[in-house]
Each structure stands twice: as structure tokens, then as C-alpha cells.
Structure 1
Amino acid sequence: MKRNKMLLLMALSLVLSVVLAACGGKDEAPNKSGSNATGQNEGTGEPDAEQVLNLIEGATIPSVDSAIVEDQVGFNVLNNVNEGLYRLNLENVAEPAIAAEEAVVSEDGLTYTFKLRDAKWSDGSEVTAHDFVFAWQRAIDPDTGSPYGPFMMSGVVKNATAISEGKMDKSELGIVAEDDKTLVVTLERPVPYFLSLMSFGTFYPQKEEFVTDKGDAYAANSDNLLYNGPFILTEWDGTGDSWVYKKNENYWDAENVKLDTINVDVVKDSATAVKLYNDGKKDRAGVSGDLALQYAGHAEAVVEPDTSIFFLKFNQMKDGKETPLANENIRKAIAKSFQKEDLADVVLANGSSAANFIVPKEFAFDENGNDFRDMNGDLLVYDTEEAKDYWQKGLDELGVSNLELEILGGDSELSKKMDEYFKDQLESNLKGLKIKLKEVPFSVRLELETNQDYDIEVSGWGPDFQDPISFMDMFVTNVTNNLMSYSNSEYDALISSTKDELALDPKARYEAFAKAEKILLEDDAAIAPIYQKGSIQLQKPYFKDLGVHPFGADYSYKWAYISGKK
């Protein structure tokens, strides 16, 4: 799942599709985080117009079954029509939702006890602890074929790994309903970000009687679903290019839901989306490519920072032999020899910013609310003089005077434009380097990366949950997403410690992450960070308090409203 996501971030973000985004889907770009802490167009007035919103999605809904959904659109819909124990608020903090209060956590960090509030399904029946037990067991059951159940629960919820592998019955999963309103979850190990996971769609409840009664028809259309969130889904036939959200009067917090109706149409072309926006038919539209340059200074343009990071991967082993990129000085030379600010501001020009790190800005925070980024600052920064010194050292160590290396990239116009930028920068700054460009369709690139049949690859990563481990775990020796033969035992030990002995010591845990990030970048230059993604959206000024999230679902409409519309 993660590797597919990483490559798709790379493939389709470079195309800059409107909002074909994903938490881990098959053909999408990364999630978007909010440009301000309290929601897009922070509300300052009261609802004073018809509370009907008209929006655009970049793709149709593949599924709204919380055990099956794996794409951005599905998770966005799910987030607005259903709800789990916790929900991300406008400040992107996970707060109790169906849980009536904060969970009680055992001293060893392995047991979480949740008390449920009085909440109802859209059919008027009570949401109970048993609904969570059924949904989680269904998601981890191999017979269900859930893409995210095993991914999110394995190594986290007790016995999840064994159940997903068919070695244990789903009834042994570490989740028990002590009564209708008391849910107890037992973990495999302490997981500091566990409550963040509780806002994720895979962990939502499902009513067993309803799911069983519908059988294969469950979630096939809006009539074959139950809802416990702010809205209900209507006018979706399971395949169509449009749907409608209606306020859910049975929602436990309905008094704080201001919108009555949200009309959604699928528009895949950015130019069409912008025209609809300018014609007043849509209240929000993404802009990409040349349109991003055109609208960057527009009065209604909003830059949305993203928590996805893009970087160059250096493959150290190919066809059973070490590549020149196994040389640390060669890697450092390349990493320091291209100007990231110009790439972000001129080539991409879409709200992205230069990155000198792997854990993004405004994503992970310590117990005092301090950004993790402040601990390490910038690493492996652009410096042509240092790059030239490293380059000569590397060439001397390899016993050569020149090198030819290939950059594996996509076949979109913007991807090609970016690759040409790398070629120009690297060849200009590193004497004796010749760069070849290999620009291929996504499916071909996936195969090449899987087989480690590449030299340098433009890659990207976006998180599913709020913790540095979401980024740093993929560089551990021999993990699935490494695929570049990088290995450092000290790095591995530090990452392991954040899961074990430091799991309940937040300060020491973050210090371990900071040290590991320096090893990865400053010491080893295992990768070369390029940019932290951003996007530009046009949004009507009367559209207030859109919740924009840096992980999980992209958007929440629970608090949104219309005020000041003329």
C-alpha cells in the first residue's frame, strides 16, 4: 500500500491533477493540509444565506465501505457521512467524537478504554461498542480483502498480524465490547499516535445487522449505507459523476452542522473546473499547471501546504553490484548541487516549497506543541562549493574522472520539465557528470523501482497518520519501501527504539527521530529532499471554516458554512 502510494504521489502530483488525491489509492496524488490552523477562510460571521454549497471532486467514488475504501475521494466522503471514536477538528487535533470523552489509557500504554456517547445511526438505532468490534474484525478478516485493515492494524492492535495472515480467528482481535457503551482496545505495543489513528476511516463502526442484511449490495449506492456522521449521502447510484450530501438530523452534534446541502460534481479537467468557478457555479476549484501561475495572485486563491515530501532516491545496488551511488560522497555531491527554491517557485509554481528535510513542516509536534522541524532545522542544503568538493572526493575514491547516471521520471509534461531542470543543474555544477533521462509511464516505473533497475528516482511520500515514523520507517534496512539498498545499523536502532523502549517517553522519542533524520540526510545522504508539496485552490470568500487536514481524509464539512454571499 505505502509503496504504491509513494510512487503515485510521484507520478500524479507531477502532473498536478486537480484533486486526484489519495491516502494510499492506486491513481492519485497526495493529501492536502490546511493553510491556516483553524480552517479555510476562517469564519468571522454567522450563516446568513441559503446553506447550499457546490463543490468539485476529481474522481468518482470507488467505495464508501470503510473496510474497503483506499482512495482520497472515498475517504473524503466517508469522513463527512460517518464518524469514528475520534475526529480531526479544525486545528487538526484528534478529539472525541463517538467517544464521549478522552480514552482512559493503561499505565503500560497497551489498553485503551473508550466510553461511547449517545449517538444514532441514520435509521434511528443506537451506535454501540459492538458496531466497532464488528467493523474492525471485518476489516482485518482476510476474507474481506481490506487494503487498509491489515496495513493500519498489523503490529498495532493485538493479534491483528496473525489474523490478517489467516493464523488466528478474527474474534481474537484486541477489541472487546464490555457493554453497549464501553469499548476496550488492547495493543500489541505502545503506539504514541494511536488516538490519531482513531480518526481514520478504517476504524469507523458498522452495524452488523445492516451489513449482513444487505450482503453484496452493502455500500453499492447511497441507499445501501447507514450514516452516523454530520451528513448523509444521497443521489449516488454507485457509479455516477455526481452526488449530494444532506445534513444528518440524527447526528449527535447536528446543532453545530450549518450546511443543509452540498452538491458535488466530478470534474477532471482543471480548466473546466476554473470556468465553473468563475461562472459562479462552483464555490471551490483547484488550479494546476499553467493555470497555477495565472491564478497564483488571484484575490480568491488560497495556497494549501501539503505534508507530502518529494526527494531523489539513490539506488546503491543494481544487478547484484554496487552502483556509484553506493559512494557517500557522490550522493552528497548530487544532493547539494541543485537549487530547490527555483524549482519550487518557478518550475512547479503551485504553492510547493523547498525541502531540506524528510519530516515535513507543520505536521508533527511534541507534547508542548513545538514543530518537530524546529528540532533539526534544514539539512543537506544547496551548496555548490561543498558539492564540488564531495564530487571530486567521490570520483577519486571510485578511481574515475566522470560518471553517467540516469534519472527515472514520469512521462507527463511537468515531470519532463522538472527532470530537465535536474539535468541542467547537476551537469552544470558537477564536472564530469552526464545525466540521462528515462521518462516512462507509471506502470513501467513501478516495475523498474520494484526491481531496483534504476540509478536515481524522483519519489514522494505522504502520511496516513500524524507521527514522524510515517516517513522515517521506510528507510530501515530491508523494509518494503526501501528499494534502494540503504542500510545503517545506527539508524535502524534509533527507529526501533521509538517503537519500543522510548514509546512512552515523548521527549526522548523525538530526540531519537531527530538524530535518525540527521544520519539519513547529513551523514549518509541516503536521499536528497526536493520539496514539500503545496497546491493552489480558488475558494469563494463566503465559504467559511472548511476543515483541511494534513493526514487521513482531506476535508471536513462539519463546521463549514456560508456567510456574506451576495
Structure 2
Amino acid sequence: MTHMSKPLVAALLAGTMLTSQAFAAGTHPVTGEALADDQTFTYRVLDEHSSLDPQVVEDVTGSEVVRDLFEGLMNQDAEGNLVPGVATGYEASDDKTEYTFTLRDNAKWSNGEPVVAGDFVYAWRRAVNPELSSPYSWFMELMSIENAAEIIAGEMPVEELGVSAPDDQTLVVKLSAPLPYFPQMTTHATTFPAPQKVIEEFGTDWTKPENIVSNGAYVLTEHMPMERSVRERNEMYWDNESTIIDRVEALVINDENVALTRYMAGELDRTEIPAGQFPRLKAEMPEEAVSFPRLCNYYYTFNLSESGPEVFKDVNVRKALALAVDRKIITENILAGGQPQAFTFTPAATAGFEVPEVEMASMTQAERDEMARELLAEAGYGPDNPLKFSMIYNTSDDHKKIAVALSQMWKQKLGVEAELGNMEWKVFLEERGNQNFELARGAWCGDYNEASTFLDLLTSPSGYNDGKYSNARVDALMQEARTASDTGPLYTEVEQILAEEMPVIPIYHYAGVYMLDSDVGNWPVDNVEQNWYSKDLYKIAE
């Protein structure tokens, strides 16, 4: 069963015929809008990206750049549906344990060499190779690729991975268990192809602008760490004729308010709106202030590892802290951008997910506060014996506002003394990953649109379970969900266990709250994963 209809293919082909003439006339081939002479898209990022190596990148902003530089088997359209990438389509065996992807014969690397199925085999073996120790190797295991778990554990050679290239245009993937949403997972950076010769020649320096060879719609032409990165059109890209944006600049601006000032001065086409400012900006600039649901959650995680603080081993302490958080103050007064309060880990925006009833959600805040005081007293803490701990977050004005609000709520209601610490992004990821914290900010954006992308995070083997929470029942339910025809009851039970044991404090679910210049065409506001591709955007003449 393939996911490409014949009319769609015909339309795509017709589209490529149209474009070169239409662009010459300075109008968009489909919408007929007049195009700006300067097709540069400039946007703000909070931090330097973690990496531009598809098998190493682990953050959202890094993945945005990687999606432009590299192209995987499948892409997403503006609604988040699968569309062809390097693969023109795929077929699944009846039992959904084998997927065969057909690769296009005109895909090229930026050095002009063809992209072949072997480039994917190399990249996927690389992702599970313990020598690379990819922060996303667990994702390959989650994809149920045959032998991935054993290879990651160092028990099998990488050559045993269930992926093969019978010829240059065919990639065959064998799974250890059926996974109906497997193709959706191939839009993720970890699965993108990698240029073996270039990596072998330059080692970790292969992603520098002077060395990098990539197969996406753009090439990296400049990178000044902590300042900016620039990507420009890749003339070798198979669909270069349909690309309109010529140049994309990502500017690192650590301060949300500075970024907004630079947006107002016309230096940026897109920036996040600082906490609390959406209502005013929406009233003043309704065309440019946007808010839409996103597939991301914002939470704080307890360090439940052996090295974690003794106090957090007590479920009453964890529940008391979670209950005393007035989420409404955070979503309505601090953020004010349309973010929903979170009492479950998985956002309501997730495809096919029914938000389960959890006790805390149906209580009033006064009832929650009362219960929090009782639980904390039961755990032996109160005005005479205050609970003390430290909490960390990555440097950002908005994260700081939330951390301060949490610590004040806990102090006023429960007499808790929480010490705040902020860290630069890379240090923060490292400290959190090494369990060098007591309570830490966490956020997760779905890697694909299905509840397991969130709930798998809190299973024992997950690479991003930084609090080291472990519950055998949760692990078993999530294992069962991978092959279940009806996952609803399983996910409901997992969420109810999490609400009972409170290994993390869910605070809110994200909205995309941006200032987006009205001359930017085709921003995919209906794609809740916010997987955007510069090749699909365009600048309208003002």
C-alpha cells in the first residue's frame, strides 16, 4: 500500500513544469501572489543548535536547520501529512513488519553525487552504533527496527541492523514488531541519510560550512557559533526549480525582548512572543501575532535516580508540589498566549489521543492547595521544618518567570524554600542528562504525531528519561501499545499512573506564539509538530 495517489504525482510533475516560467514573472505559480525581489527568510533562535549532524542533533532548533540541509525518506506538508522526500512512496507487508521504500533516481548530494539507498543504510547503522553514542539512538529502537536494541547495547554488530539496499533505488526495513506509524517516523532527522566519504574524511568537523555535503534544498554557507547560521539554495536539489526562498538566516538571540525589538525594526521575519505580551500585540498587529496549538509539553522533572535527593523519593512530596502549582496563573497571566494548562503529560493536540480524567484536573485550586498542605505535613514538612531543594532551567527570560512563579507559589502555600539556578543550553542538557540536579525544567516536542512519542519518554529505557523514573507497569503498557489495535485504554492507564506517582509536574502544553511577518507565505500553522521546510515558504512583495 503506497501513500501517493497518481493524480498527486501528476500534479507534482505539472508543478515543476510550471514553476520556472512563473517565477520569471515574479508571481507564485499556485497562488498568483506577487513575489518579493529579496527571497531571504530571517528568524530568531534562543540558543546555539546542539549539532548539524542528523544522527547527533537533539534539539528542536537544530532539527529545523537539519530539515533544510538534509532530506529523509518522507517529508510533511503544511497539515502534517506525509509527502514524498527522497522516497517517492513505500509499500508495507500485510503484517506491517517490512517496509519497502522506492527512492527517486534524481536525488543528488550537494557535490553532485547521487543519493542512494546505501546512504540511508550507512546513516541508520551509524545512529545505532555505540561508538557514535547518538543521543537519539533510542529512537531507532523505538522504530522497532530489527536488532536495533541489541546493537545499541553492544551485543550485535551494526551490520545486523534490519535495513538493506538490494539496489540503489530500494530500501528495505525489517521490524521486530508491527508498527503502523513507522513511515511517520521517517520525517525525523535521525533517519536522514549521511555522506559516508565526507564523514570518514573530516570526522566531527564534517558539518562545518567548508566541509559539509548535504542532500536537502539548502546548503550551509556560514556558521558563527552563538551568533548565526546561514543556509542557501542547493542547486543540486532534485526539486530546486520549485524552491522560492533563496537564503535562510537563523540568528541566536538569547533575550526574547531584544528579539522582539529587532523584529519591530524589520530585522527578523519571525520571533517568539515574550511571555505575557500576546494580548497586546494581537490587538495592535492582528495580522502578525499568531498563536496555534503545538505538539509540545512543558514540565518539571524530579531526579528519582539513586543520586537524587531523598525527599523526592516520597510520592506525597512530589504530589504536594504538583498540586500547589496554579497553572492558570502561568497560562493566563504570565504566558497569555493561548497555552492550555497541563494535568497530563500528553497534549490534547496529539492525533487520536483522548485526554483521560485525572483527579487533579477536576479539583478547584483551593482544593488542590488544601490537599498539598496535608500531603506535605504527612511527609513531615511544614513551617517548622521547611522542605528545601534546588531547581534548574536553561537561560531564558520566560523560563525564569515560570521558575520564579513556581518557587513563590510553593513558598507562600507550603513554606518551601526552592533555590533557582539557570544554565546555558548545552551545559543544562549535560547536567540534566547526567542527573546532576534535584528538580529540572523539561519540555518535549513530539517526534511524530502519536501519544507514544510523549509517554515513551517516561519508560525505563528512554534516553531522555532524565529523572530516571521507572515503573514496570508503565513499561509493560507502552510495550503492549506498540502492537495494540486500540491504544486508548493503555495510554489512559499510563497517564493515570503518572498522575498517581507524579514523576514529573506537567505545567502547560505549548502554543506556537509568534510574531510572523505578514509577507511570509505558507507558514504551516496547521502542522502541530511544526516541522517546517524553508523550501515550502516564500516572501510576498509588500
Measured against the shorter chain, the TM-score band is 0.7 to 0.9
Match of 1:511 among 475, 481, 489: 489
AA matched with 2:332: D
Tell me, yes or no, if structure 1 residue 404 matches structure 2 residue 391.
no
The partner residue of 2:450 within 448, 467, 476 is 467
Structure-2 change in CA distance of 1:315 and 1:169 (3 Å): closer
CA–CA distance in structure 1, aligned partners of residues 379 and 267 of structure 2: 62
Matches of 1:97 and 1:110 in 2, distance apart? 22
Give the 3-state SS of the residue equivalent to 2:329 in structure 1.
helix
1:206 matched to 2:186? The reply is no
| Percent identity over paired residues | 26
Describe how 1:334-483 pairs up with structure 2 within 5 A: 334-362=321-349, 364-366=350-352, 372=353, 374-376=354-356, 380-381=360-361, 382-384=363-365, 386-387=367-368, 390-391=371-372, 394=375, 404-406=386-388, 408-410=390-392, 417-426=401-410, 433-442=414-423, 454=438, 459-476=442-459
- Residue 156 of structure 2 is matched in structure 1 by 168
Residue 129 of structure 2, aligned match among 138, 141, 144: 141
Q: Distance between the aligned counterparts of 2:187 and 2:466, measured in 1?
A: 30
Kept in 1, the 8 Å contact 2:138–2:463? The answer is: no
Structure 2 residue identity aligned to 1:339: D
What code does the residue aligned with 2:419 have? K
Q: Secondary structure at the match of 1:353?
A: coil
Please give the alpha-carbon distance, in whole angstroms, between the structure 1 residues aligned to 2:457 and 2:186: 22
1:129 is aligned to 117
> Is the 8 Å Cα contact of residues 478 and 490 (structure 2) preserved in structure 1?
yes
Cα distance in 1 between the residues matched to 2:218 and 2:270: 19
Q: Please state whether the residue corresponding to 1:376 is helix, strand or coil.
A: coil
Once residues 510 and 550 of structure 1 are traced to their aligned partners in structure 2, the CA distance between those partners, rounded to angstroms, is 20
Among 519, 528, 540, the alignment partner of 2:517 is 540
In the TM superposition, what are the counterparts of 1:248-287 in structure 2 within 5 Å? 248-287=234-273
Deviation at 1:535, TM superposition (A): 5.0
Secondary structure at the counterpart of residue 529 of structure 1: strand
> What per-residue deviation string (whole Å, max 9, x for no partner) do you get for residues 345-377 of structure 1?
212345533212210132x213xxxxx1x4426
Is there any run of 5+ residues in structure 2 with no aligned partner, and where? 1-29
Q: Counterpart of 1:471 in 2: which secondary structure?
A: helix
Question: Aligned pair 1:74/2:62, yes or no?
Answer: yes
Q: Which residue of 2 aligns with 1:33?
A: none
Counterpart AA for 2:520? F
Separation (CA, whole Å) in 2 of partners of 1:344 and 1:57: 23
Aligned partner of 1:11 in structure 2 is none
Deviation at 1:422, TM superposition (A): 3.5
Show CA shifts across 1:304-334 (max 9, x none).
5443323354677988997487355x65555
CA distance in structure 1 between the partners assigned to 2:103 and 2:378 by the alignment: 63
**AA in 2 matched with 1:518:** Q
Letter of the 2:128 partner, please give it: I
- Find the partner of 2:95 among 103, 108, 121: 108
Q: Distance in 2 between matches of 1:400 and 1:140?
A: 46
Is the CA contact (8 Å cut-off) linking 2:351 and 2:451 kept in structure 1? no
* TM-score, length-scaled by structure 2: 0.78
Report the CA distance shift for 1:406/1:297 in structure 2 as closer, same or farther (over 3 A).
farther
Following the alignment from structure 1 to structure 2, what is the Cα–Cα distance between the partners of residues 480 and 132?
22
Matched position secondary structure for 1:55: strand
CA distance, structure 2, for counterparts of residue 334 and residue 316 of structure 1: 15
Provide the rounded CA distance (Å) in 1 between the counterparts of 2:380 and 2:197.
71
Q: Could you tell me which amino acid in structure 1 is paired with residue 130 of structure 2? A: P
1:520 aligns with 2:498: yes
**More contact order relative to length (CA 8 Å, sep ≥ 6):** 1
Q: 1:405 to 1:311 in 2, by over 3 A?
A: farther
Q: One-letter code of the match for 1:198? A: T
Letter in 2 for 1:113: T
Work out the CA distance in 1 between the residues paired with 2:360 and 2:412: 19
After TM superposition, give the deviation of residue 201 of structure 1 in Å.
1.5
Partner of residue 12, structure 2: none
Partner of residue 179, structure 1: 167
Give the AA of the match of 2:417.
Answer: K
Amino acid at match of 2:182: F
Amino acid in structure 2 at the alignment position of 1:383 = T
For 1:544, give the aligned amino acid: G
Distance 1:406 1:349, change over 3 A: farther
Selected match of 1:559 from 532, 536, 542: 536
CA contact (8 A) 1:312 1:528 kept: yes
Write the distance in 2 (CA, Å) between the matches of 1:66 and 1:453: 28
Give the corresponding residue for 2:476: 493
Shift of 1:239: 5.2
- SS of the equivalent of 1:288 reads coil
Deviations, residues 94-145 of structure 1 (Å, cap 9, x unaligned): 33311111x2222333211111122321344332212211222233333445
The 5-angstrom pairing of residues 281-300 of structure 1 reads 281-289=267-275, 295=281, 297-299=283-285, 300=288
Aligned Cα root-mean-square deviation (Å): 3.8
Measure how far apart 1:220 and its partner are.
4.2
